[in-house]
Amino acid sequence: MNLKGKNAIVTGGGRGLGKAVAVALAKEGVNIGLTGRNEEHLKNTAEELKALGVKASYSVFSIDDETAVQAGIATLANELGGIDILINNAGVGDFGLIADMPSETWEHVIKTNLFGVYYAAKAVYPFLKERGMGDIVNVASTAGLKGGPNMSAYAASKAAVVTLSQSMMAEWRKENIRVITLTPSTIASDMSIQGGLTDGNPNKVLQPEDFAEWVRDILKMNRRAMIASASIFSTNP
Give residues in contact with ligand NAP (CB under 6 A). Answer: 12, 14-18, 36-38, 41, 62-64, 89-93, 112, 139, 141, 184, 186-187, 189-192
Q: Which of 58, 119, 125, 154 is catalytic?
A: 154
Answer yes or no: 125 catalytic.
no
Nearer CB in complex with ligand NAP: 132/196:
196
Least distance in Å: CB of 174 to ligand NAP?
A: 27
Least distance in Å: CB of 222 to ligand NAP?
A: 26
Distance, CA of 63 to CA of 89 (rounded, Å): 10
Cβ proximity of 232 and 210 under 8 Å: yes
In a 10 Å sphere around its CB, with 0-12 CB exposed, 13-18 middle and 19+ buried, how is residue 56 labelled? buried
End-to-end CA distance of the chain: 33
Least distance in Å: CB of 74 to ligand NAP?
A: 16
Distance, CA of 198 to CA of 200 (rounded, Å): 5
Nearer CB in complex with ligand NAP: 31/186:
186
Least distance in Å: CB of 214 to ligand NAP?
A: 12
Cβ proximity of 105 and 96 under 8 Å: yes
Nearer CB in complex with ligand NAP: 14/134:
14
44 Cβ neighbours under 8 A, 6+ residues apart: 14
Q: In Å, what is the CA distance from 177 to each residue of 71, 73, 194, 195?
A: 22, 18, 35, 34
Coil, strand or helix at 30: coil
Catalytic residue IDs: 154
